[in-house]
A and B are shown apart, each in its own frame.
Chain A
Amino acid sequence: MAFRQIGVAASVTVALALATPAYAVTEIQWWHAMTGGNNDIVNKLADDFNASQSDYKVVPTFKGSYPDTMNAGIAAFRAGTAPHIIQVFEVGTATMMSATGAIKPVYQLMKDVNEPFDPKAYLPAITGYYSTSKGDMLSFPFNSSSMVMWINKDELKKAGVAEIPKTWPEVFDAAKKLKAAGHTTCGFSNAWASWAHIEQFSAWHNAPIGSKANGLDGFDTVLEFNSPLHVKHLQNLMDLQKDKTYDYAGRGAASENRFASGECAIFLTSSGYYATAKSTAKFDFTSAPMPYYPDVAGAPQNSIIGGASLWVMGGKKPEEYKGVAKFFTFLSDTNRQADLHQKSGYLPITKAAYEKTVKDGFYDKNPVLQTPLKELTNKEPTENSRGLRFGNMVQMRDLWAEELEGALAGKKTAQEALDAAVARGNAMLRTFEKTAK
């Protein structure tokens, strides 16, 4: 009796399940790593897209930190249950693009489903990072940022620093003044140690991080950031670390609140820190371009981007790809991009959205948000400043930071630390090259 009822219920369920796809919308799974206010933005984008049409439904799922999300995607691919769209941070680019077959390049996707797509509409400083050397866009930029120098204007004034420092020597001077004025534990500092002192530092000074245009032109790239310029910079930091005129603040973004708390009045971190700074800093603050060494010819060059892009996974159905393409077109809409930029602090990805924001006079009121764009477009990008693409970059960043820590703790000389970072990094690149053939 009971069994029969269950049997009937089961067959009804099965029938319903089988019948559903006939009139259901196509679901597009989107895995992302956005927290807090940015998570709301992701959900709002999906809701708006779903409301704008009835054929497709984008379903965003939060998967943890950037490395967590990327690993979840890789594991899902191996298990045959990959999502359609996955948000991968910029350092995962080489790993993703080398996975031929696992991913569907964006330019290919747009062509396959006949979606109108003009790669020239996007800001080259941003899309260049996610494109092949021929200019084919591989992934769709979502949230982009760059590194800027955050300034506590109140404290600088108190310490008698009249102008916002532009060069590294000026920053060191200002930090000494700040220290004398009571900032005993931190004259200046930065988050993202490797990103600041190796990646951005190199691009900003038009010095190579590695050969083959920082790896953009091939996986047989060799690291080169143990040059005299890099050694000099690290040596300066080491000298200043001794009395905390400079104070190391870790590999990630965890110490960003040393700026908002007022402890460090000069602090280099992502331009994406804007939303947090706005809500937590109780003083007059602004952002300025990263400092440079004036004796380096051509400096400052241009900065490179950080943040994340959306990768489309391979092996999905054509109608699902159609939905993904529609969603990307939706994201590229000028008003939407401008709005996204002005609310989140992340960079606009299309030229039109940037121009609209300028025309609206937004930057007159919020010059802070224009700093990263000015840095990115400061000069025409060179081989050394177009971007970077190293395999195993996620772990390599930690490895570089490890060596920087060794030097700053006084265990190694600047030259030894950078030589070791280059040698160990090269060993990882060779392992990657073998698997990425």
Chain B
Amino acid sequence: MEKSVVFNNKLLPYLLLVPQLIITLVFFYWPASQAVWQSFKREDAFGLTSEFVGFENYQSLFAQPEYYASMLTTLIFSSLVAALSLSIALLFATQADKNLKAAGAYKTMMIWPYAVAPAVAGVLWLFIFHPSLGTLARPLRWMNFDWNPLLNGNHAMILVVMAAVWKQISYNFLFFLAGLQSIPKSVLEAGAIDGAGPMRRFWTIVFPLLSPTTFFLLVVNIVYVFFDTFGIIDAVTGGGPAGATTTMVYKVYADGRLGGDLGGSAAQSVVLMVIVIALTAIQFKYVERKVQY
């Protein structure tokens, strides 16, 4: 007979939850509520004067055409980065999962870029593609291709997308590789015996079995492109040219930190927070249905 442990103390579960709850409250709910509160106020940079203005910050925010432009930029930027970094990482992971001679070295090299800080990654790419300094920009110009991320918004976008993707591939690679390694070999061998080719085995066996990993990474990557990429944008383009790479999170930074407009900046972060919560909720409600655990 199995001995079941019963805790009669009603308080104990709550006590055990307290540390986690405190961390969540202090590091998530408290700052988030601060942002909401701040978004209803108008304050100078030094915090010397402060007045409650209700929804005025939101009104002026939604009256700016630049804000809608930054929403569109964010949409383009985040779909490109998420799609590219996930698919390239999956490709690399499937290759690394094969029996390679230098698999260890290959995997280590793949993981390295993750250790690079976003701003540093941005600067690296800037040096490669800077119109007049860049090691790769010179051959481009030499081939009479007018590579100019300083004025051409599309070029600037390509540049920040490359830097952001490059940095995120390592992370995705790591999870995909772990996911691939947990797929039982017997299933794949059974497929092979039944005559399924490598492509077919990938799409009918590997990909569905990877779906929990893919789903997890999708959520993480969306959060990454929405929040963690502003270091790259700041270092590479500063949101330019002409606002072509000003994403929503970069605008929060620019208005709050460079502009000293804390209320407007807080209002933007609240909007951003709502969008990300909604996106994550949608993902859990609809995309997760297709996930096979």
Shortest B138–chain A CB gap in Å is 10
Shortest B202–chain A CB gap in Å is 43
By secondary structure, the A interface counts as helix
Contact of A409 among B133, B153, B258 (CB under 8 A): B153
Q: Say whether A4 faces chain B, with CB atoms less than 8 Å apart.
A: no
Q: Say yes or no: A102 contacts B259, CB within 8 Å.
A: no
Within 8 A of A (CB), among B98-127: none
Q: Say whether B132 faces chain A, with CB atoms less than 8 Å apart.
A: yes
Q: Give the contact stretch, choosing among B13-21, B72-80, B166-174, B235-243.
A: B235-243
Interface 1/0s, chain A 40-82, versus B by CB < 8 A?
Answer: 0000000000000000000000000001000100100110000
Residue of A nearest to B43 (CB): A435
Residues of chain B within 8 A of A405, CB atoms compared: 150-151, 240-242
Shortest A182–chain B CB gap in Å is 14
Q: Say yes or no: A402 contacts B243, CB within 8 Å.
A: yes
Contact of A67 among B42, B150, B242, B257 (CB under 8 A): B257
Q: Which of A78, A99, A431 has the most CB of B within 10 A?
A: A431
* Separation of A407 and B141 alpha carbons in the complex (Å): 22
Interface 1/0s, chain B 247-279, versus A by CB < 8 A?
Answer: 000000011011111001000000000000000
Q: Say yes or no: A395 contacts B258, CB within 8 Å.
A: yes
Q: Say whether B46 faces chain A, with CB atoms less than 8 Å apart.
A: yes
Q: Say whether B45 faces chain A, with CB atoms less than 8 Å apart.
A: yes
By secondary structure, the B interface counts as loop
Residues of chain B within 8 A of A411, CB atoms compared: 242
Q: Say whether A389 faces chain B, with CB atoms less than 8 Å apart.
A: no
Residue of B nearest to A424 (CB): B66
Q: Say yes or no: B255 contacts A395, CB within 8 Å.
A: yes
Q: Which of A250, A251, A411 has the most CB of B within 10 A?
A: A250
Q: Say whether A437 faces chain B, with CB atoms less than 8 Å apart.
A: yes
Residue of B nearest to A257 (CB): B133
Residue of B nearest to A74 (CB): B45
Residues of chain A within 8 A of B42, CB atoms compared: 431, 434-435
Residues of chain A within 8 A of B43, CB atoms compared: 435
Residues of chain A within 8 A of B288, CB atoms compared: none
Q: Say whether B199 faces chain A, with CB atoms less than 8 Å apart.
A: no
Contact of A408 among B151, B261, B264 (CB under 8 A): B151
Q: Say whether A231 faces chain B, with CB atoms less than 8 Å apart.
A: no
- Range of interface residues on A (Cβ < 8 Å): 35 or more
Q: Say whether A394 faces chain B, with CB atoms less than 8 Å apart.
A: yes
Q: Say yes or no: A398 contacts B238, CB within 8 Å.
A: yes
* Separation of A100 and B257 alpha carbons in the complex (Å): 20
Q: Say whether A95 faces chain B, with CB atoms less than 8 Å apart.
A: yes
Q: Say yes or no: B150 contacts A402, CB within 8 Å.
A: no
Contact of A402 among B45, B242, B264 (CB under 8 A): B242
Q: Say yes or no: A258 contacts B132, CB within 8 Å.
A: yes
Q: Say yes or no: B132 contacts A255, CB within 8 Å.
A: yes
* Separation of A261 and B255 alpha carbons in the complex (Å): 35
Q: Say whether B197 faces chain A, with CB atoms less than 8 Å apart.
A: no
Contact of B45 among A95, A252, A257, A398 (CB under 8 A): A95
CB within 8 Å for A398 and B133 given contacts A403-B242, A435-B43: no
Q: Say whether A228 faces chain B, with CB atoms less than 8 Å apart.
A: no
Residues of chain B within 8 A of A427, CB atoms compared: 60
Residue of A nearest to B63 (CB): A427
Q: Say yes or no: A101 contacts B48, CB within 8 Å.
A: yes
CB within 8 Å for A398 and B132 given contacts A99-B46, A409-B241: no
Residue of B nearest to A255 (CB): B132
Residues of chain B within 8 A of A436, CB atoms compared: 44
Shortest A280–chain B CB gap in Å is 13
Within 8 A of B (CB), among A233-262: 241, 248-252, 255, 257-258, 261
Q: Say yes or no: B44 contacts A395, CB within 8 Å.
A: no
Q: Say yes or no: B242 contacts A394, CB within 8 Å.
A: no
Q: Say whether B49 faces chain A, with CB atoms less than 8 Å apart.
A: yes
Within 8 A of B (CB), among A74-120: 74, 77-78, 95, 98-102
Within 8 A of A (CB), among B29-77: 42-49, 60, 66
Within 8 A of A (CB), among B128-169: 132-133, 141, 150-153
5 contacts between A and B (CB under 8 A): A392-B261, A395-B254, A398-B254, A401-B240, A402-B243
Query: Given known contacts A255-B150, A394-B258, what 20 new A-B pairs fall within 8 Å (CB)?
Result: A77-B47, A99-B44, A99-B48, A241-B151, A248-B150, A250-B150, A395-B259, A398-B258, A402-B242, A402-B243, A403-B242, A405-B150, A406-B241, A406-B243, A409-B151, A409-B153, A409-B241, A431-B60, A434-B42, A435-B43
Pairs A-B, 9 closest by C-beta atoms: A395-B259, A406-B242, A405-B241, A435-B44, A405-B242, A395-B258, A99-B46, A102-B46, A409-B151
